[in-house]
């Protein structure tokens, strides 16, 4: 038995929980798997019954603290298609870059959280 099998949840701060829930649900193939009793947390998982993957939980804060680096990347098999989808959805995205066998780009959620997408 492995003591640790995977990263279970990544937590992302947001200032507007309802707006952020709608954005994440529109952009990614998520399903809501958790809502806290106090209304300050919403948990998502990818809608894939075959495999339990890392969840993403948004949580309410009054202010987002700026960072100079993204917290994590979303893995995609088709970085070009995801890039185009985000652009068509009005998300500001960087150009697609290539380095060390990877192709990737950066983008932000409506709260200014820096996110990325990568394929390799």
Q: Give residue 91's pLDDT.
A: 96
Per-residue model confidence (pLDDT) at position 44: 96
Q: Give the burial class of 50: count Cβ atoms within 10 A of its Cβ; 0-12 exposed, 13-18 middle, 19 or more buried.
A: exposed
In this prediction, the residues of the chain whose per-residue pLDDT falls under 70 are none
Domains and CATH numbers, the chain: 1-65 (3.10.180.10), 66-120 (3.10.180.10)
pTM strictly above 0.75: yes
Q: Look at residues 97, 41, 43 and name the one whose alpha carbon lies nearest to residue 73.
A: 97
């Amino acid at each position: 038995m492995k003591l640790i099998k995977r990263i279970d949840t990544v937590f992302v701060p947001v200032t507007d929980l309802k707006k952020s829930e709608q954005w994440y649900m529109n952009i990614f193939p998520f399903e809501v798997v958790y809502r806290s009793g106090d209304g300050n947390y919403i948990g998502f998982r990818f809608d894939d019954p075959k495999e339990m993957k890392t969840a993403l939980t948004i949580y309410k804060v009054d202010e987002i603290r700026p960072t100079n680096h993204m917290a994590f990347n979303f893995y995609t098999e088709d970085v070009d298609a995801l890039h185009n989808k985000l652009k068509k959805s009005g998300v500001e995205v960087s150009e697609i870059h290539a380095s060390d066998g990877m192709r990737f780009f950066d983008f932000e959620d409506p709260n200014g959280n820096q996110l990325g997408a990568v394929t390799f």
